[in-house]
Amino acid sequence: MPATPSIMPYALVRPLLFKLDPENAHHLTLNTLRTLNNWGLDGFIHKRVAECPVEVMGLKFPNPVGLAAGLDKNGDYIDALAAMGFGFIEIGTVTPRPQGGNPRPRMFRLPAAEALINRMGFNNEGVDTLVANVRRARYRGILGINIGKNATTPNDKAIDDYLYCLNRVYEHASYIAVNISSPNTKNLRDLQSGDALNSLLSALRMRQLELADQHDRYVPVAIKIAPDLEPGMIGEIADLLAYHRMDAVIATNTTISRNGVLHLPGAVELGGLSGAPLVSRSTEVITELSAALAGRLPVIGVGGITRGTDAWNKLEAGATLVQVYSGLVFRGPGLIGDVADACQYYYEQNPDKRVFKRVVPVTAEAPETAGDPATAEGAPATAAPGELAISLDEPDQPQGVAPEQATDSAAEAAPAALRSDTSPRQP
């Protein structure tokens, strides 16, 4: 797998950036990229990367290397980032209302481990600002928008925040990522399990189909999960995601573990750890998740990618797409080409995996009260791209029921053993 030279002499720039506060360096870098882009000096940042088209979620990606959420929270830098060669870009996390996040300092480098610790806390200018920025952007490639809840919103009202953001970003996104796994918003990760997850997924799916019917356009929804999951949770999450016909899962977010870095200065800072120390655990989660999903929906692999082989390993573990973020801080923009080369080589060896084909096994019937979204009547005749237009909505849903009421009943009715889709699906 040949290495791709850096777009700019990052080895010379990095020591200067590392003399700055990490958050200040972050903004300086992005503002510089945007200025170069605005002045038409794209040659300083543009780099042709390996062409490796893949098809996932009904979307055609020019290459499988994406930018993970968090780098561009408000969509301020979309066009500049697009010039770097990404196959897709994910912006956010964005919340319904603006919020400042946690107090500074809130981002820390562990250079010896090629790692970052952050406790940003979903700092963003609110979904209305993000939507305005997306409208102004010239980029017409694949754009993911990552949505979250405000810190002041209690978990029992979290669904309202997610649905509000879903409504606002739907027509502007290629896909929508739902962040329920950041360790920096109190109790957010509780939404990953049990009735809370079931209720959220049910509400998201119902609203997704309503919006697809309204806009005559299906926008996939992906759920982003944490690496710090209790035994058995991955299987439970996989079954719920498949049952509610989510379109993808993003694995993983940052970790609260400090395995392998506790001896380093700054490692005791609170927050999520990302970068090289996360790579093994995130790949383990992808392996277990892929086995549990058994092809029922695709996995987007993220966490600790600092070289091409890390991406290769995630594809081998079952991911179809990969994302990078922290690795860019330590390796520079040349990492994008390295990862794209590795992905190209992988897909040359595995050409049958270039198009994700969702497996739809036939299993035992779920209880009728579960409201199987794959068999309900009266749903909007809207399907994912390449999918047969079948009825997918929840059955017998009274008109005018508030989202929290509808999802509470769905949570109570959720079966212990969920069955997967029984409808044919073509990516």
Residues assigned a catalytic role: 182
- Among left, alpha and beta (phi > 0; psi -120 to 50; other), residue 57 is left
Task: Determine if residue 93 is labeled as part of a ligand binding site.
Answer: yes
Task: Determine if residue 124 is labeled as part of a ligand binding site.
Answer: no
Task: Determine if residue 37 is labeled as part of a ligand binding site.
Answer: no
Distance in angstroms (rounded) separating the CA atoms of residues 221 and 218: 10
Task: Determine if residue 253 is labeled as part of a ligand binding site.
Answer: yes
Task: Determine if residue 87 is labeled as part of a ligand binding site.
Answer: no
Task: Determine if residue 357 is labeled as part of a ligand binding site.
Answer: no
Task: Determine if residue 146 is labeled as part of a ligand binding site.
Answer: yes
Task: Determine if residue 66 is labeled as part of a ligand binding site.
Answer: no
Task: Determine if residue 224 is labeled as part of a ligand binding site.
Answer: yes
Task: Determine if residue 252 is labeled as part of a ligand binding site.
Answer: yes
Three-state secondary structure string covering the chain: CCCCCCCCCHHHHHHHHCCCCHHHHHHHHHHHHHHHHHCCCHHHCCCCCCCCCEEECCEEECCCEEECCCCCCCCCCHHHHHCCCCCEEEEEEECCCCECCCCCCCEEEEHHHCEEEECCCCCECCHHHHHHHHHHCCCCCEEEEEECCCCCCCHHHHHHHHHHHHHHHHHHCCEEEEECCCCCCCCHHHHHCHHHHHHHHHHHHHHHHHHHHHHCCCCCEEEEECCCCCCCHHHHHHHHHHHCCCCEEEECCCECCCCCCCCCCCCCCCCEEEEHHHHHHHHHHHHHHHHHHCCCCCEEEECCCCCHHHHHHHHHHCCCEEEECHHHHHHCCHHHHHHHHHHHHHHHHCHHHCECCCCCCCCCCCCHHHCCCCCCCCCCCCCCCCECCCCCCCCCCCCCCCHHHHHHHHHHHCCCCCCCCCCCECC
Task: Determine if residue 153 is labeled as part of a ligand binding site.
Answer: no
Task: Determine if residue 304 is labeled as part of a ligand binding site.
Answer: yes
Task: Determine if residue 296 is labeled as part of a ligand binding site.
Answer: no
Task: Determine if residue 306 is labeled as part of a ligand binding site.
Answer: no
Task: Determine if residue 118 is labeled as part of a ligand binding site.
Answer: yes
Task: Determine if residue 30 is labeled as part of a ligand binding site.
Answer: no
Task: Determine if residue 275 is labeled as part of a ligand binding site.
Answer: yes
Task: Determine if residue 254 is labeled as part of a ligand binding site.
Answer: yes
Task: Determine if residue 71 is labeled as part of a ligand binding site.
Answer: yes
Residues of the binding site for FMN: 69-73, 93, 146, 179, 224, 252, 275, 304, 325-326
What are the binding residues? 69-73, 93, 118-122, 146, 179, 184, 224, 252-254, 275, 304, 325-326
Annotated binding-site ranges for substrate = 73, 118-122, 179, 184, 253-254
